[in-house]
Chains A and B, each alone.
Chain A
Amino acid sequence: MYDGGKIITGLIIGIGLLMAPFFYNAGKAAKAPEPELTAKAKEAKQCVMEKAYMTSSHFSLLDDWRNTVVRDGERYYTAKSGKVFYKSLQMTCLDCHSNKSKFCDQCHDYVGVDPYCWDCHIEPKEKK
């Protein structure tokens, strides 16, 4: 190989540059944020479903709610505990979880999703 030394050095430098961001950020992975509960949400103890389901599939529930409310006119949801909820993101969910930035946005930003709920639905005014 002609100029083998130069080529290999060049390759090492090139690959090194390409990998630099990985080395630079190694071990600095941002921790998944924990949704913060408001005093009102803590007091209620139980959401409309168990915590595990709400964490993993709240969007399925919300999707189901919006379809049944808008299309079928079924506006009330009976939880397993027998408690009846008015199916409304704006009026029910965000009534307890009024800290949208710490409860919704933080996690959504982390996982890089951008739900368009708030294009129309009005977010609660948060106390700074």
Chain B
Amino acid sequence: MGLDRREFLKVAGLAGLLGLGGKAAIDMFAPGELEASMETIPLTEGKRWAMVIDVHKIDETIIKKCVEACHREHNVPDLASKKEEIKWIWKEDYEHSFPERHHEYVGEDVEHGSFLLLCNHCSNPPCCRVCPTKATWQREDGIVMMDQHRCIGCRFCMAACPFGARSFNWGDPRRVLEDEKLKELNPGYPTNQDYPTRSKGVVEKCTFCAERLAKGQLPACVEAANTVKKDALVFGDLDEPDSNVRAVLRNHYTIRRKPELGTNPNVFYIV
């Protein structure tokens, strides 16, 4: 009974050799074949979704259009209160978008420029690590997803997210239907009958339009921006070397928000 040290190492080594699986094995025995089969990836099969925002191409109107399109698509109410605000995608100034890059001699157009912020769908998401119920987790395609059914509203994820991309429902979002003033701000709420609203006590955020990707459509903000200016927002698969986002990243200098924190954001900005 029992293995001595030498026997154990032998077995372990052999197992390691046999266990050499996945992409490495395919690369070794049939180089290039896996790559070829991934040439065209439909929108439903991404491996690491990413977005590139061209700050030179976006302006106030495009930003407004993106925010409106997203919030209409996902029944995000305007609660007319900074404290209770719910935002999936929003406008921010340079200093608050890239605080570590700000200094007093930044050029006028950058300093007063508008940036479009949203959940970065980090490759190393701190929000998912702290969620006690796995209500937020990272899907295989890289999307940091929310499961409202499981959220208990503890807001650990909001504390963990360094980008302020998460909002808490302090009340039922449908209260905008009861209040006269809020009703005016949210005509026709809920605007998308095919998408649920949220309930009181859950956290919500951008999902990279997972439900649209499943149907082969681009995220609502990308679609909205592209009706005004082509390629203002580019969405694609980072894992695919020939993808649109990889091409844009090769050809432009891009920055990400707070990269020093090591969360590895997947939203890039051409500045």
| Chain A contact residues, CB within 8 Å of chain B | 66, 70-71, 73, 75, 88, 90-91, 116, 119-122
Closest to B141 in A: A73
- Whether A73 touches B210, Cβ cut-off 8 Å, given contacts A66-B149, A119-B172, is yes
Query: Of the 9-residue stretches B90-98, B99-107, B191-199, which lies at the interface with chain A?
Result: B191-199
Rounded to whole angstroms, the CA-CA distance of A75 and B210 in the bound complex is 11
How many A-B pairs fall under 8 Å by CB? 31
A120 touches B145 (CB 8 A): no
Contact of A122 (CB < 8 Å), options: B139, B145, B193, B210: B193
Most-contacted residue by chain A among B145, B147, B149, B198 (CB, 10 A):
B149
Rounded to whole angstroms, the CA-CA distance of A122 and B195 in the bound complex is 8
B214 touches A120 (CB 8 A): no
Chain B, interface size category, equals 10 to 19
A122 touches B214 (CB 8 A): no
| Chain B contact residues, CB within 8 Å of chain A | 137, 139, 145, 147-149, 172, 190, 193-200, 210, 214
A122 touches B197 (CB 8 A): yes
Contact of B214 (CB < 8 Å), options: A71, A75, A91: A75
Most-contacted residue by chain B among A90, A91, A120 (CB, 10 A):
A120
Closest to B147 in A: A70
A91 touches B194 (CB 8 A): yes
Rounded to whole angstroms, the CA-CA distance of A75 and B149 in the bound complex is 17
B148 touches A120 (CB 8 A): yes
- Whether A122 touches B196, Cβ cut-off 8 Å, given contacts A73-B214, A75-B214, is yes
